[in-house]
Amino acid sequence: MAILLTVSLFAVNISADVFHGWAMQDLLPKLPSHAVVVMDNATFHKRQDTRDAIQNAGYTLEYLPAYSPDLNPIEHKCELRAEIEASSSITLNY
């Protein structure tokens, strides 16, 4: 069963530094014991000290298979954004 533990809105592009800080300060303190952290293959998800911190805290770290948008719900939102922008003069900035 998937549980949403935290939601954050960033006004900057996500980098390995931004993701690492968020994971350490917001995500890890809220994870229940024996949690499995599932991430896509974004470059910023693969920073070694972030991976080590998740695993050293006792959590299991798994990555989605490459090129599997069906398993990654954010991909559907990106597709919707592209469709809206292509069919109108509206640009969505989020």
Q: Which long-range contacts (CB under 8 A, 24 or more apart) does 3-10 make?
A: 5/30, 5/31, 6/30
Query: Along the 94 residues of the chain, how does pLDDT read in single tens digits?
Result: 667 777 787 888 899 999 999 999 999 999 999 999 998 888 999 999 999 999 999 999 999 887 666 665 655 555 666 666 677 665 555 5
Distance in angstroms (rounded) separating the CA atoms of residues 33 and 57: 9
Specify the 3-state DSSP secondary structure of 11: coil
What are the pLDDT digits (tens) for 66-90? 766 666 565 555 566 666 667 766 5
Is pTM beyond 0.75 here?
A: no
Nearest CA among 31, 26, 22 for reference residue 2: 31
